[in-house]
Amino acid sequence: MLRHLADWVLPMTGPPIRRGRVDVAHQRVVSVGPETARDPGAPVVNLGAAAILPALVNAHTHLELSGLRGSVPPANSTPAWVDRLLARRGDTGAPDPGAMRQAVAESRAFGTGLLGDISNTLASVAILESAGVDARVFREVLAFPDDGAEAVVSAAVEQIRSCVGLRSVRLGLAAHAPYSVGPVAFAALDRVIRCGPAAPRCIHLAESPEELQFLRRGVGPWRDLLERIGRWNPGWAPPGCGPVEYLDRMGWLGPGLVAVHGVQLTDSELARLADCGVTLVTCPRSNRWTGVGDPPIDRFIRSGVRLAVGTDSLASAPDLNLFAELESMRRCAPTVPARRLLECATSAGADALGFGEALGRIAPGRRAALISVRLPADVSDVEEYLVSGIAADQITWLDESATATPGH
């Protein structure tokens, strides 16, 4: 056994523990609590002015876009930004494996131990497996026309089935968005997901006002884009409702749904997501980059919906630092308790991605995926400090090979 001591331990099962300890053996947490008389047989790592946390959870990213870091300028609307993204992807071709490996390493350097990755190719799976990084990789489907939609879904399912012998990665399915996936594809995805083992499903939802325009009236930039790229379905009729009602009509509203962004959601729609057991994932820095502005974090919290946080891709965020996302959330919602924000980056994300039994909290029997954040000696409110911006050089991963002194 190895005992970690620190000025603060944040188990995410309750309040921070002042002068706390975490006992670890065989990559599992044995116990957590206040510092007590030390076990004579247990080596001790005394971290001093530091906080021990569970590894962070980046609930939404796109590793395949890592090669586009800094190359897709911000825009004043999401459709305009997507136009730029598509043009840039056309120039660069297939996902860059080297950039994806670097992104995974960067995530680890910022204290992230679990990723929710959206993939059109599953190219990230082997990279994550090789690095031993836990992830839920969602194979994303885009299929707005009815013709060929079932074949697109079948191809995605076969690709998932071809991934065998996975250790750290679990797979799932995602519908890209209500404006890029049609009713036939939604129904086909729903059938496959319901018939398979329990797993979360994912969708980008209510990110831009143009999405609302599309669903209510069937017009606007998203329709223009579909027509331009030859993906419009002339037989499709706008449902004349908001995105949450539309997902319900498609059979997609329920526990296990991970809905990303939600910037345009009304209070009643947020309450409905909460009642249905949906997780909402917010990506504040990406939202600003893609022209939809700051997410209403305080309304998200008040609604009671389970809220997680992600960085989105390196095409719309400067880095994969979840602590920077927490800092952005704090600026958007200065009165929300800091602990509630920290839950978004730990326990809520782990639960949403289906890893809550092992990750996201420090508790006996759970995986010892632990990080230490170096603190100034005079920190009195450790939770507030942690949502105020943390740099990579403050973060250390803890493991059983850490330098220890004999217990006494």
pLDDT value of residue 145: 97
Q: Fill in the DSSP letter of residue 367.
A: B
**What is the residue-averaged pLDDT of the chain?**
96
List the Cα angle 171/173/175 in 5-degree steps. Answer: 155
133 vs 112: CA distance, rounded Å: 9
State mean pLDDT over 307-315: 99
Q: Where are the domains of the chain?
A: 2-54+361-398, 56-352
State mean pLDDT over 344-373: 98
pLDDT value of residue 164: 94
pLDDT value of residue 331: 98
Q: What CATH number belongs to 2-54+361-398?
A: 2.30.40.10
pLDDT in tens, 149-203: 999 999 999 999 999 999 999 999 999 999 999 999 999 999 999 998 889 999 9
283 vs 85: CA distance, rounded Å: 18
pLDDT value of residue 402: 53
- DSSP assignment string, 298-346: HHHHHHT-EEEE----TTTSS---HHHHHHHHHHH-TTS-HHHHHHHTT
State mean pLDDT over 235-248: 98
Specify whether the CB–CB gap between 297 and 275 falls below 8 A.
no
pLDDT in tens, 3-57: 999 999 999 999 999 999 999 999 999 999 999 866 657 899 999 999 999 999 9
Cα torsion angle, 107, 113, 118, 119, sign = positive
pLDDT value of residue 408: 41
pLDDT value of residue 94: 86
| pLDDT of 392 strictly over 90 | yes
pLDDT value of residue 126: 98
pLDDT in tens, 229-241: 999 999 999 999 9
95 vs 66: CA distance, rounded Å: 8
Q: Kindly list the distances between the CA atom of residue 390 and the CA atoms of 92, 107, 163, 323, 382, in Å, as whole numbers in the listed order.
A: 33, 13, 36, 6, 12
**Percentage of residues of the chain with pLDDT beyond 70:** 96
**Percentage of residues of the chain with pLDDT beyond 90:** 93
Reference 100, options 80, 84, 115; nearest CA is: 115
Residue 209 tokens, joined: 């006002």
- Amino acid letter for position 354: G
pLDDT in tens, 80-137: 999 999 998 876 678 999 999 999 999 999 999 999 999 999 999 999 999 999 999 9
pLDDT value of residue 399: 77
Determine whether 288 is exposed, middle or buried from the number of CB atoms within 10 Å of its CB (0-12, 13-18, 19+): middle
State mean pLDDT over 355-380: 97
Residue 82 tokens, joined: 């997507």
Residue 41, Cβ neighbours under 10 Å: how many? 8
204 vs 313: CA distance, rounded Å: 13
**Superfamily holding 56-352:** Metal-dependent hydrolases (3.20.20.140)
